Amino acid sequence: MTSAAPSSRQGGSARTGRPRSAEADRAILAATREALVELGWPGLTLGDVAARAGVAKTTLYRRWPGKSALVVDAVAALFDERLDLPDLGSLQADIEGVVRQFAALLDRPETKTALMAVVAESTRDDALRERIRTAIVDRQKRLVLLGRERAQARGELPRDTDPVASARTADLIFDVVAGAVVHRTLVSAEPVDTDWARRFAALLLGGLTAATGD
Amino acid sequence: MTSAAPSSRQGGSARTGRPRSAEADRAILAATREALVELGWPGLTLGDVAARAGVAKTTLYRRWPGKSALVVDAVAALFDERLDLPDLGSLQADIEGVVRQFAALLDRPETKTALMAVVAESTRDDALRERIRTAIVDRQKRLVLLGRERAQARGELPRDTDPVASARTADLIFDVVAGAVVHRTLVSAEPVDTDWARRFAALLLGGLTAATGD
Amino acid sequence: MTSAAPSSRQGGSARTGRPRSAEADRAILAATREALVELGWPGLTLGDVAARAGVAKTTLYRRWPGKSALVVDAVAALFDERLDLPDLGSLQADIEGVVRQFAALLDRPETKTALMAVVAESTRDDALRERIRTAIVDRQKRLVLLGRERAQARGELPRDTDPVASARTADLIFDVVAGAVVHRTLVSAEPVDTDWARRFAALLLGGLTAATGD
Amino acid sequence: MTSAAPSSRQGGSARTGRPRSAEADRAILAATREALVELGWPGLTLGDVAARAGVAKTTLYRRWPGKSALVVDAVAALFDERLDLPDLGSLQADIEGVVRQFAALLDRPETKTALMAVVAESTRDDALRERIRTAIVDRQKRLVLLGRERAQARGELPRDTDPVASARTADLIFDVVAGAVVHRTLVSAEPVDTDWARRFAALLLGGLTAATGD
DNA sequence: CAATAACCGAGACGGTACGTCAGGTCTTTTC
DNA sequence: GAAAAGACCTGACGTACCGTCTCGGTTATTG
């Protein structure tokens, strides 16, 4: 499940000339993550990334529109790699598990420093917001859907009746889970330990099961 | 309820010399908010702020260590002004109310663009993180405490028994509420409308009342 | 007789990449002289020079280490242009001529204000002193050598026997002539008029012819 | 023969109020020389001088109009102290002696770095030029006059007949001697050793005795 | 001996230039 | 025609020093 490709050539009929090096793409994204670890978002410069990747700055600008988009692509791969939903036997356990995975991901220096920054930029850049949505947000909503399916199969949650309400609830849950973990980790700057994960999962689970009707 | 003063002179024994102009502080913070509205976080420069405030750049650097800290102070005042917790008769209504207030605050151009940016910077700057905590986070936790008190008075929530657990729960709720609203607004980039607020409040309320013990 | 080029790329093997604009060099040096005329040495700023030359400040710093070095190069060209030694028929006349030329040069606003300033800076900056020596001092010693040759051809001075002593004497004469004119013009702040030039030339000529041996 | 007092109160009728501290004057001038030695002219700042002297910057500005004037006063005292004209028995020896004294003075870090700088500034500041003239130049012309008197007493030079021509010649000699030594020391940056002093004195002496008429 | 006037230290103030750095673009030569 | 190299323009950065100002407080002379 390879993550987002960089912006492919826009013009349709491009066949002639030297082809773009695929190796360069990998090197650039790896260099970006590496630089992010060492320097953090504010210290990361495209010139430095280019130098680490053994690539000219020009090449970099030919493929990404700027620093933010590059970082989104570099970080998105980590989300695919690091987040999954192993079946832990109960919805409570599954929630705890994904919460702790997500917290661990946010604790990595690459993501910790970069995620809020690109979100901040995205408030003024629609293309960037769209890139974040497709490369990160929408891809990870699968976890919510999968978790609910399993819980329904186990009988922990009722079957969906209205598909529209179902989708809205999934979005709500995603915002609550992701938002709470991000806020705990980056704003409150407190650890997401076993205790917190358990208490958060209990709160969420209580809310989900209490809301019989709506 | 005046919000955080800028970094006062660190040396304790400061009585001599020309005193700092209090007028300048006000002008600088106002200019910062104004510039934030017009230019957004990335476009905001300290030189421009100084010019708008009719103040020299050096004056600005004498009082704040940098752009981020200044913005935190400038924005913190808005949180004090814009967030309160009028008694709407029920916990559900109180939650809905504060959620919508907070969402409205995050929709203002000053905060939308700046808040995530300073949080991003704070991941690499302990002093900045501390400033955010004292100027914004800790101050707004009062809303959670007040809401719970009222709900307890109404009999909607049980009385606290263990003060330690009580404090931990307050923190959890704060992370959930603030995180969910921020994520909905800035990451998912969807509106916090009446419906969402109602459904979120119901979810949270369910979780709170379901968790009898713990 | 084009004067000193600015500091060329230090690394030897530079062939690739965009070459430095030769046009920029000319524009910068011209702008420097122009700014020097209008603002004088203390008022001259590199930012202003860059703006006049239609060039970025960085371009300027890429080629010169600072204000002083730039001014040396800018002024050196004037020395090449403005000083020569037309054959006026006698050593006395030749000395008078070059003295008045030099005084006229020192009376120009570009040189008057800048020359002493860079010499002052050079007392603490070896690289600058070396630049002054190669770009100005050594180049103008040619005038002394040429004048002596002519005088010898006319029989006004004896032929050199010892080349070492000859060089030392040339240096001495250069210091005396240049030093006296500079001191008269800038320190005593009195004009180098016909009378002064004639009396100075007579003094020097007397010294030269009196010293038969060494 | 105490050298120039700093600018006294301009208003005539000042008698009342606290008088200016004479101690401060001494401390400031000493601090100036000290800072000049350590930092050189370009690195010397009035704030630093004030701190060294244990004095407020205000006090300093109350007495001198700026950096240059202060330095002139600080340096002028050295000229008085370090230059004299002991009778060495012949005009040649006297010239050599004063030349070497002057060169030694110019080799001190205070003077080396400061002298050209204030001269440079004086080209744009008439008050400063006047201060240099009265505090330094005119005071040291005494050496020329004294040397000539002695040489006349010894019979090495003819008695003056025309007082006007006599004064003009003294000025010329002063420019030649001071100029040559300054140029040798600061521009050519070569040492004024025994040999150079002897050859220079010989040249000058030759010029003086050759010029019978005129 | 009180009033007054000028001094003093400290340090904040508005300015201005500094030299550096990053973002992007453009121009070469090489592959 | 893409790639590497590197010069280019733009514009902000944070610092330093300038010379002025505003404080609280300290000497002197004058009344």
Q: What is the pLDDT of residues B45-90, one digit of tens each?
A: 999 999 999 999 999 999 999 999 999 999 999 999 999 999 999 9
Say how far apart CA A14 and CA C170 lie, in whole Å.
71
**pLDDT for C4 beyond 70:** no
Which of residues 53-82 of D have CB within 7 Å of strand E? 54-59, 62
Half-sphere exposure of B7 (CA within 13 A, CB side): 17
| B56 & B75 share domain | no
Token pair in block for residue B91: 């916990």
Chosen for mutation from C111, C123, C125, C184 (greatest number of chain D CBs closer than 10 Å) is C123
Condensed to tens digits (0 to 9), the pLDDT of residues C138-185 reads 999 999 999 999 999 999 999 999 999 999 999 999 999 999 999 999
- Summarize pLDDT for C15-63 with one digit per residue, the tens: 788 999 999 999 999 999 999 999 999 999 999 999 999 999 999 999 9
Does a structural domain hold residue B13? no
Identify whether A109 is part of a domain. Answer: yes
Q: Are residues C173 and C98 in the same domain?
A: yes
**Count of beta carbons in the 10 Å neighbourhood of residue D130:** 12
pLDDT at C14 over 60: no
Query: C139 near C76, Cβ under 8 Å?
Result: yes
Is residue A108 one of the residues assigned to a domain? yes
Judged against a pLDDT cut of 50, whether residue C130 lies above it is answered with yes
Number of domains in chain B: 2
On chain C, the residues whose CB falls within 8 A of the CB of D202 are 207, 211
Instruction: Decide if A9 is inside a domain.
Output: no
Average pLDDT score over chain D:
91
Residue D108: per-residue pLDDT: 95
Q: Tell me the C-alpha distance between D68 and D123, whole Å.
A: 12
Tell me if chain C has a CB within 8 Å of the CB of D133: yes
- Give the Cα separation of A194 and A99 in Å (integer): 10
CA distances from A70 to A44, A63, A148, D139 (A): 11, 9, 33, 72
pLDDT at C99: 98
D29 and D89: one domain?
Answer: no
Collapsing DSSP to helix, strand or coil, B125 comes out as coil
Pair D178, D102: CB distance under 8 Å: yes
Nearest Cα neighbor of D23 from D31, D15, D35 is D31
Q: Say yes or no to pLDDT of A129 above 80.
A: yes
The answer to whether A147 touches A98, Cβ cutoff 8 Å, is yes
Decide if B213 touches A, using CB distance below 8 A: no
Residues 63-102 of B with CB under 7 A from strand F: 66-67
Q: Evaluate if residue C11 carries a pLDDT over 70.
A: no
Whether residue D148 is found in the same domain as residue D94:
yes
**pLDDT tens digits, residue range C80-102?**
999 999 999 999 999 999 999 99
Domain that holds residue C110: 71-210
Q: Are residues A95 and A56 in the same domain?
A: no
**Residue B188 forms part of a structural domain:** yes
Answer with the one of C36, C63, C90 that is the final residue of a domain: C63
The confidence score (pLDDT) of residue D19 equals: 87
Rounded to whole angstroms, the Cα distance separating B105 from B112 reads 8
Question: A114 lies in a domain?
Answer: yes
D182 & D152 share domain: yes
* CATH at A200: 1.10.357.10
Kindly state whether residues A179 and A86 are assigned to the same domain.
yes
Give yes or no for residue D49 having a pLDDT over 50: yes
A48 and A99 fall within a common domain: no
Q: Are residues D205 and D133 in the same domain?
A: yes
CA B56 – CA B52 distance, rounded (Å): 10
Q: D198 and D103 in one domain? A: yes
Question: Do B59 and B84 have their domain in common?
Answer: no
Diameter of chain A measured on Cα atoms: 63
Count the Cβ atoms, other than its own, within 10 Å of residue A150. 18
pLDDT (tens digit per residue) in C196-211:
999 999 999 999 998 6
Residue A13 binned pLDDT confidence (cut-offs 50, 70, 90): very low
Q: Is D11 left (phi over 0), alpha (psi -120 to 50) or beta?
A: beta
**Looking at the structure, do residues B106 and B201 belong to the same domain, yes or no?**
yes
Taking the C-alpha atoms of residue B110 and residue B41, their distance in angstroms, rounded to an integer, is 8
Judge whether residue A10 has pLDDT over 50: no
Report pLDDT for B3: 47
Domain membership flag for residue A110: yes
CATH of residue B37: 1.10.10.60
D124 CB-to-strand F distance under 7 Å: no
Domain assignment of residue C123, yes or no: yes
Q: In 3D, which of C121, C105, C22, C24 has the Cα closest to residue C71?
A: C121
Cα separation values, B162 from A197, B158, B167, B168, C26, Å? 20, 12, 9, 10, 80
